[in-house]
Amino acid sequence: MHPEHELDLIRKSQQGDGTAFRLLVESHQALAYSIAFRFTREEQESEDIVQEAFVKIWKNLSKYNTEFRFKTWLARIVTNQCLDYLKSARKKSMSKILISEEMAISHELKMESEELKTIVYKLADQLTEKQKAVFILRDLEMLEPEEVCSTLQMSDGNMKSNLYYARLKIKEGLRKFYKE
Amino acid sequence: MDCSDFEKNVILYNEIPEAQQDALKLHLKSCKSCERLFRQTMQMERLVKEVASQKITSANTAKLTSRIMKEIHLQSSPGWLDHAIDLLQNTFIKKALATISTILLVTFSVEFFNDTPPAKYQNPITSGFAILNSTLFKEETVRQRSKTKFFTECISPFKPQQYLIDCAKSKLK
């Protein structure tokens, strides 16, 4: 969506125009759902998070800072809600998802994409919250470094540091499956 | 810079400035272990990119959109309290309520200052508010007027007070 058109829709939404807000929802819903699903990997949970995020945005439209892109604002709200969800989910079950050696042995050089996805997500589950958030936004959602910093409200150095450890852990995890 | 410094740049290859990337490339030409690490990292990156390229979409996007909009509409629609506040802000309602309040205030004030004896000590016919029948009311009025007229002859501003007393006494006799 063109930034000017986006801003126009935001202004209309601020005045209570539901149709304009619906257009915003339609154009950004995919990103919100994608981020939420990569964090939670649960359809229902992801939909709830997306819904809550948009309701929150609707209520706080008057506070929207035009310096930031709507996409960044949405990503921030969704990420925060996902992190809250992960906190509560971790409290419920403290058992860590560990990749068994058996799984590693069974894998060939070229992994099936579905299996690969499962492994990457399971490895991401073992990262710290910040590392996971940076990894998902930068490497999976492919947001620009500045957008990641803005979304997670962290400095460039902090973002790079978290990304470094996240990639290192993912790389080490994948090495178990990847035979040279 | 030694290999440990380059190792970090290998992992963050696409995050570092171009100058650092060039320096790394130069180092890789001469360092086999770093070159191996770089190759491994790029392979892992490809795998992660493969996962990233798999687009995630909701099973029913339209349904989710309408669910969101429904929730927003629900949260935006005013409750009974908002309706009540809106109603009170209406000028006509304000005036009507003010009129009712004034009427009630006057009624209660009149009632409070009314020193008429209670109904049980009054003649039911003479107590003004008890006369509901118009004929009875008329008769009572005529009787009151004749009573007043009875003493009218005795009242005179040019006669002394004693005359009024004597006249009233003689009339009553």
In the predicted structure, residue A108 carries a pLDDT above the cut 70: no
pLDDT for residue A77: 95
Q: Do B56 and A29 touch (CB under 8 A)?
A: no
In the predicted structure, residue A112 carries a pLDDT above the cut 80: no
Q: If we measure between CA atoms, which residue out of A58, A11, A89, A136 comes closest to residue B74?
A: A58
| Alpha-carbon radius of gyration of chain A | 18
Split into its structural domains, chain A has a count of: 2
Residue of B4, B40, B44 to mutate when probing chain A, most A C-beta within 10 A: B44
Residue B54 is which amino acid? Q
Verify that A74 and A2 share a domain, yes or no: yes
pLDDT for residue A105: 41
pLDDT for residue A155: 95
pLDDT for residue A91: 58
Residue of B10, B14, B64, B71 to mutate when probing chain A, most A C-beta within 10 A: B64
Contacts of A175 in chain B (CB under 8 A): 40, 44
pLDDT for residue A104: 47
CA distance B71 to A146: 32
Count the alpha carbons within 13 Å of B144 in the hemisphere toward its beta carbon. 10
Chain Cα centroid distance, residue A43: 14
Write down the mean pLDDT value for chain B: 81
Q: For B105-138, how does the pLDDT look when each residue is reduced to its tens digit (9 = 90+)?
A: 888 887 777 666 555 555 555 555 555 667 777 8
Asked if ipTM goes beyond 0.85, one says no
Q: For A72-98, how does the pLDDT look when each residue is reduced to its tens digit (9 = 90+)?
A: 999 999 999 999 998 887 656 544 444
CB pairs A-B closer than 8 Å: 101
pLDDT for residue B114: 66
pLDDT for residue B126: 55
Task: Output the domain CATH number for residue A160.
Answer: 1.10.10.10
Task: Output the domain CATH number for residue A61.
Answer: 1.10.1740.10
Contacts of B40 in chain A (CB under 8 A): 171, 175, 180
Verify that A90 and A122 share a domain, yes or no: no
Verify that A85 and A110 share a domain, yes or no: no
In the predicted structure, residue B5 carries a pLDDT above the cut 90: no
Residue range(s) defining the domain that contains residue A153: 96-180
